[in-house]
Amino acid sequence: MPGSRPVALVTGGGSGIGLASAEALARAGHDVTIVGRRPAALAEAAAQVRAAAREATVLVAPADVGARDEVEGAFAATLSTFGRLDVFVGAAAALHTANFRDLTIEGWDEMVDVVLRGSAMCAMAATRHFVQAGGGRVIFIGSISASVSDFELAHYCAAKAGVHALARSMAVDLASANIWVNVVAPGWVNTPMIGEYVDSLEAGVLLAMNPQGRAARPAEIADVVRFLAVDAPPFLTGSTITVDGGQTVMNHLLPG
176 secondary structure, DSSP code: G
- Comparing C-alpha atoms, which of 197, 190, 248, 187 is closest to residue 217? 190
Q: Are the CB atoms for 71 and 129 separated by under 8 Å?
A: no
What distances in angstroms separate CA 208 from CA 33, 131, 157, 198, one per listed residue?
A: 38, 45, 21, 13
Strand order in the sheet with 58-62: 58-62, 31-36, 7-11, 87-90, 136-141, 179-186, 240-243
Q: How far apart are CA 127 and CA 11, in angstroms?
A: 15
Q: Are the CB atoms for 215 and 190 separated by under 8 Å?
A: yes
Q: How far apart are CA 96 and CA 106, in angstroms?
A: 12
**Which residues partner with 241 through β-bridges?**
184
- Comparing C-alpha atoms, which of 1, 55, 16, 15 is closest to residue 32? 55
172: number of Cβ within 10 Å: 12
Query: What are the residue numbers of the active site?
Result: 156
Q: Are the CB atoms for 36 and 11 separated by under 8 Å?
A: yes
- Comparing C-alpha atoms, which of 178, 174, 198, 196 is closest to residue 186? 198
Q: How far apart are CA 4 and CA 214, in angstroms?
A: 40
